[in-house]
Structure 1
């Protein structure tokens, strides 16, 4: 290399590594259509293999048309589907050359610790949530949940109703107009009469999917309500008509599917809602705290502590 070449090389800007296909799929503010979102979810759920098949196979797996897959590749910044596949193949080749792909050490013959094994599996599923949940789905959910014109209803099944309750309590601190649907089957039927376009139904449905939950969501959608679905990788039937579908891997060695991964997603949505509402939620939270202090709701309330001290003196 000559001195002139060295100077040019030194002064030229450093080449930035190109964004991976996954990075582009997860970028915020990507305006995907509803049909494109179906293909995005399939690509993230089985990355990168899902993108290394044919256009028709990917479209069939996602339940969309071939042109939808082609438009998605172009929206991601590639010349076409072939360009996206080239990028995926380059990622696979780079991974194969990485020292991280060297054979792992022989497994230990010690008797496995069932608790540690479960923790490791669950942490692995949490990492999958980060890799496989489309940012656009979080953004769509947050947009609906922060619309002041909408009343938000939360509904879940036998176990997932606890997740619905956590989300509703978080939203209650952030905005007005939220309710948890947690009554009998007859109570749910009565709720159907008032549903309409000004309602957002956030529904949690994991295997085994509940008939009453699916039916309620279906009737809510038919009446114009907006549906946000939290479900697992096998996908509740509600996914066919939901506007937003947030999928969590839930399988572990436990006899029960884990709720840790969907809880992460619930808390992520709460973070997004708080960020979008900004100062509005802070003023609401301050008002709630003031009322709670007046009624000594928590032990750290000033009036509650002083009352306890007076009781001790007496």
Structure 2
């Protein structure tokens, strides 16, 4: 039996704190941000477009979930038009350049697939008894886990486990609600004797230097949930550029980080009250850690004497 210690209670406190901070920050975000719908711009000028320009418009409207992430070259290739035609098109719908259009388009798509509120307004608190509400929440949390595991192929889980096991170093990348989940997984990786680091995303001067240490021998575990952070996607892109392998834990394959991943592990997070329940991601990370413990059991057993010896030195210092 592997004992994880009392880290769970620490991470539960972190999770509650993160819920409070995230709720406050998202409410402020809702008040100050209004995202314009670029697809409406396309539709408003559609009748005046040339046959060539309509190919671009049709592509954007029919494949908007993926088109919003396309480079200028790829979009022009997919629409079978010249890059200059795309540039003229985005100017026609009111943008100064392609970068501005792409940024606005991504923001719009992410606003559609991400909740604008943290708490569901449709949930009824008054018409049901406390026991009925408790049972509904229990069933919802259970369903989140069941639906998540139904979406994940066993081969994908084992691929992720082997990538982590074979990595020289594991970097964990997370923000907001998923940060306590990533922190718990990182603690368990350390307990299993795996070199790991929870990346600090707060200092953008240090972050490039941290990413520069990574290469093809390393693995990134990236958590990406609504409201999606473009920074998370950018870190995944940098990790890919460095040649590192990437495991993405997310709720949708079109999240910013998923497109760079070698392995995508999907988790349902929309619960009865909160749009972002971390029940399924937490369960998934526990599954990964448990499978890793089984895979590494011989190494762990071989190091037990060393662990006991080093622990005895620390006990003497305490006494």
TM-score, length-scaled by structure 2: 0.55
Where does residue 170 of structure 1 map in the other structure? 188
- SS at the partner of 2:249? strand
The structure showing larger relative contact order (alpha-carbon pairs under 8 Å, at least 6 residues apart) is 2
Please state if 1:280 is matched with 2:299: yes
CA contact (8 A) 1:200 1:228 kept: yes
Q: 1:113-144 CA deviation, whole Å, 9 max, x = no partner?
A: 33332121011111222322110111111111
Q: 1:210-259 CA deviation, whole Å, 9 max, x = no partner?
A: 11111011111012110000011464222112000000111112234111
Where does residue 204 of structure 1 map in the other structure? 223
Where does residue 260 of structure 1 map in the other structure? 279
Where does residue 237 of structure 2 map in the other structure? 218
> Which of 114, 133, 144 is 1:125 aligned to?
144
Where does residue 262 of structure 2 map in the other structure? 243
Q: How is 1:82-231 mapped onto 2 (pairs within 5 angstroms)?
A: 111=129, 113-147=132-166, 150-186=168-204, 187-231=206-250
Change (3 A) 1:260 1:137: same
5+ residue gaps, structure 1, are 1-59, 64-108, 297-301, 308-314
Q: 1:155-195 CA deviation, whole Å, 9 max, x = no partner?
A: 11112121111111111111332112135232322212222
Q: How is 1:13-28 mapped onto 2 (pairs within 5 angstroms)?
A: none
Q: 1:57-108 CA deviation, whole Å, 9 max, x = no partner?
A: xxx9xx9xxxxxxxxxxxxxxxxxxxxxxxxxxxxxxxxxxxxxxxxxxxxx
CA distance in structure 2 between the partners assigned to 1:141 and 1:195 by the alignment: 18
TM-score, length-scaled by structure 1: 0.56
Matched positions, count? 194
Change (3 A) 1:285 1:188: farther
**CA RMSD in angstroms, aligned pairs only:** 2.7
CA distance in structure 2 between the partners assigned to 1:244 and 1:126 by the alignment: 19
CA contact (8 A) 2:170 2:219 kept: yes
Q: Which has the larger radius of gyration?
A: 1
Change (3 A) 1:161 1:110: closer
